[in-house]
Chain A
Amino acid sequence: MLTYKRISIIPQTTYTVTRRIPGQGQIFCRVGQKVKAYEIIGVGEKKMGFKTLNLADLLKVKPRLIKNYLCKNIGSIVYQDEVIAKKKEFWGLREVKIVSPIDGVLRHLDEKNGSLQLEYLPKKVKIPAGVSGKIIEVEQSIVRIETKASQICGVIGAGKLKEGMLLILGRPDLPLLAKDIKAEMNGKILAGGSLLDKEVLYKCLAMGVRGVLCGGINFAHYQELTGPRGGLEDVGLGVLILEGFGNLSINQLTYEALQKINGQPVLLYGARSQLIVPHLSEQNPLASYPAKPALTSKGLLNFGILRLHQKVKLLTLNHLGLSGTIKKLNQEPTELPSGVKTNTVLVELEDGREVEVGGWDLEIVE
C-alpha cells in the first residue's frame, strides 16, 4: 500500500545561490573560479535617496527665475557645504549663499515651484560570496555560485528567499512566545517552538528577524499570513513550518539537525518549504543523515510503500504528531472509530500504546 512519505533532511545536495550587484558595480570573479564564503565577489552601488531644497523660498525669488541663481549645472556633483546657488542683495553689497547639505548630484530643478532635487551620492557596497563554492555564471550584475549544501524540508512555508544566521530559540515542544523575540535577533533566522502565532510573527517583523522555523501554525493564521497567493506571498520574512497545521512539536530528527547547524549562515526559502544550509567547509554537519535524492524529481518520492517496522508519524486528530512503528499491516478493510472502512495498519507508539489507523492517516518518516 502506498502512503505519504516525508523526507525531513537531505544531507547532501547542490544549491545555486544568486548574488546581485546593485547599481553600476564591478564584478571581481569569473566563471569556474572557486570562492570562499568571505571573499568579495563584487562591489555595487546602493542608492541612498534624495533631498529637496526649495531655492525659490530660500532666495526669495520667483520660481521661474531660479535657474539664473544656480552656481552649478544640473547633473553636476556637489559636496557638502559647497555653494549651489547665490543671490546678491542691497545693490550688490550683500550676497545670500545656499550651500549643499549633502554630498550628491544636482538631479532636477523644478521651475514651477523653485525646488531643487539633490540625490545622495551612491554608497559603495561590497558583496561577499556568502557561501563557498564555484562560480557557474556571471551576467551583467548577477553572479551565480554553486555550493554544496544540506536541506531541511518543511511541510509548508511562505516568503521569499531570506538569509541569516540560524538561532535556536525555545523548546521544540512548546509554543513560541512573543516576549522571547528580542532586538538582538535582528537579521537572524529563528528555529524552535511547536506553534507560531500572529503575535510572534508581528514581533519578529518588528525586530527585523529574517525568518522563523517552527513545528506548527494554525491554518487560520497561515491563511491570514499568506493571503490568496499562498506561500508565494512576500510576507516580509521567511516562514517554514516543519510539521503541519496545529500545535506540533518539531520532530526529534529535525531538531537534532537544527542544533548541529545552530549559529551557521542559512538560506530560508519559505515559498519552497526549504531551509538550505550551505557547507562552509568540506565538512558537512549533517553528513550522518542518510542520503536522499533531491525533492524536485517527480514520481514516488513523496509517497512510500508501507512496510513492517517503518517509522511513521500519525496525522489523526487524536494522535496528531505522535510517532511510532508499523507493527502489522492489515490485508482486509477495517472499520475506523469514525465508522469508515479502509485498509489499516497497527502502529506501536513511542510510549508503548498500540493504535490501529488508516494507511493514509499517517506518513512515513525517514
Chain B
Amino acid sequence: MLPRLVIHLGSTYTRAFLFSSNGQKYHLIETQKELALKNPSLSVEQFKAKYLGRFEEVQVISSLKYSSGGFLEEEVFAEASELFSKLGDILVIDIGSQKTAFASGRFGKVRIGEINLGLGVSAGKILHQASVEDLATLIPYAVDLINLQNYLGKKILYPGFIPFAPEELAIEVSHAAFILAEVKKVVATKFLRNESRFILLTGEVFGSAPSLSLALFPFLQGWQPTGVTQVFVDPGGFFYSFYLLNDFEGMLSQFKKVGTLISLTHTREKREVLGDCSLDLGLNEKLKFEILAGELIRVPFREGGSGTLEISLKKEVFLGKNFAAKQEIDGGELGIVIDARGRPLPKPPLSKEGREKVRDWLEALGGKILC
C-alpha cells in the first residue's frame, strides 16, 4: 500500500486528499481545496507539485474521462453509494455547482440519477422551477428580491464564491432546499420510493455550513423526509475519495452524524396532540412527552449514543410504512429531531409572520442565520 494522492476534479472546486499507509490501512493526512481551472491537467499538475515526494500513486476523479488512470465521477458516485448502502436503506444527495446527483437503494442495489440544478454554474435554473418569491419564503429576514436574483447571477459568474454575509448564506440555504424539493419529485416518480433510513448529504452547501442545523434545514424543508432517519453530512467530499480506497469504515468516520430525525405525516391543526413519545436515552429515567402538531423539537443526544424510541400515534398520524413503533435510535451532533409539522410542510408566507416562522424553525434545530 503506497502513499496515495486522490484528486477530485469538480466543475467549481478541485479537492486533493493525501493518504499515508501503515501497510494495512490508509490514513488521511491532509486535504486541500482550490478553484477548478478550465484545464483539468493544470489542476492535477498543481496538486502533484504541491505534494511532490509525499505520494507514490495518484488517482483522479472527474466528470470526463481524464486519463487512462482516471475515474468517472458518475461511476464513483454510483459505486460509493453502493458501498454506503451496506448500512441499509439509503439516500445519498450531492448538490454540486452544475448538477445534483442522487442515489437511492439498499444493500448494494442502488439506482442513481441527476438533475441539472446546482448552486453554482447552473444557479439561475432554479428560477424555472420556483419563483423568486418562493425562494424568499425560506429566508428568515426581509430580502430584496432583486438582490436575491443578482446573487444567483453572481454564483453563475463566480461559482466558487463563499457566502460572506448572512443574507448570502440564507439565499444559499433556501436555494438548496428548492433543489432538494426538485430531486424528491424525480425520485418519487422514477424510483417510486421516498422513504430511506440512512441519508447522506454531500456537497459544499452541507459540508461548509456553519452548523449542522443549517445543513439539515434545507433537507428538512426541501426533501421533507418521513419516518425515522439517520442523517450524515459529508464535510469535505470524503464520500468519493474513501470509496477509491474501498474503506467503508474510514468513509463513515469522516462523516458528521447529525442524529436521528423522526418525521410524522399528518394534516392535523396546530397544537393538536398527535401521540405519545417515549425516549430511552440511557438516562435515569425515560423521556416521555406528548407530540403536538406543528412542533419541531430537538432533544440533545450525544454522538455514539444508542437509545430506544417508543411512539404511539393517534388516528391518521403516520410514522411511515416501514417504521416500527418501537425501535433503536442513534445520537449525533444535533441529537434527536422530531418534526411534527406535518407533510406536506406548510409553506411560510412571504411576510413578517412567515419570516418569524422560519426563524423559529431554525432556532428549534439549534441554528440561526445572524442578520
Chain A interface residues toward B at CB < 8 A = 1-4, 155-156, 218-220, 222-223, 244-246, 298-300, 302-303, 315-318, 335-342, 357-358, 360-361, 363
Is the Cβ of B165 less than 8 Å from the Cβ of A316? Answer: yes
Give the complex CA separation of A156 and B154 in angstroms. Answer: 11
B168 contacts A245, C-beta separation under 8 Å: no
Q: A299 to B166, alpha carbons, bound, how many Å?
A: 33
Task: Report the interface size class on chain B.
Answer: 35 or more
Known contacts: A299-B37, A299-B39, A303-B35. The answer to whether A338 contacts B153 by CB under 8 A is no
Give A72 Cβ to nearest chain B Cβ, in Å.
Answer: 58
Sample of 15 A–B contacts (CB below 8 Å): A155-B157, A156-B157, A219-B153, A244-B154, A245-B153, A245-B157, A299-B42, A316-B165, A337-B370, A338-B166, A338-B168, A338-B169, A340-B209, A341-B208, A342-B162
From residue B116, how far is it (CB to closest CB) to chain A in Å?
A: 12
Mark out the residues of chain B between 319 and 371 whose CB falls within 8 Å of any chain A CB in the assembled complex: 369-370
B161 within 8 A of A: yes
Interface SS majority for chain A: mixed
- At the interface, yes or no: B233 with Cβ under 8 Å from chain A? no
Give chain B interface residues in 144-182, CB to chain A under 8 Å: 146-147, 149-154, 157-158, 160-169
Name the residue on A nearest B163 (C-beta).
A338
- The residues of A that contact B163 with a CB separation of less than 8 Å are 336, 338, 340
**Complex alpha-carbon distance, A358 and B161, angstroms:** 8
CB-CB contacts below 8 Å: B84-138 with A: 124, 127, 132
Q: How far in angstroms is the closest Cβ of chain A from B296?
A: 21
In the complex, the 6 A-B pairs of residues with the closest C-beta atoms, listed nearest first? A339-B210, A219-B153, A245-B153, A338-B169, A316-B164, A358-B162
With both chains docked as a complex, state the minimum distance between the C-beta of B359 and any C-beta of chain A, in angstroms: 15
B38 is an interface residue with CB less than 8 A from chain A: yes
Q: Which of A246, A298, A303, A315 contacts B161 (CB 8 A)?
A: A315
The residue on B at minimum CB distance from A3 is B35
CB closest chain-B residue, reference A228: B128
Is A339 within 8 A of B370, CB to CB? yes
**Interface status of B20 (Cβ within 8 A of chain A):** no
A52 to B250, CA, bound (A): 82
Task: Please measure, in the bound complex, the distance between the C-alpha atom of A292 and the C-alpha atom of B38, giving whole angstroms.
Answer: 18
Known A336-B164, A360-B161, A361-B161: A302·B370 in contact at CB below 8 Å: no
8 A Cβ contacts from B10-58 to A = 34-35, 37-39, 42
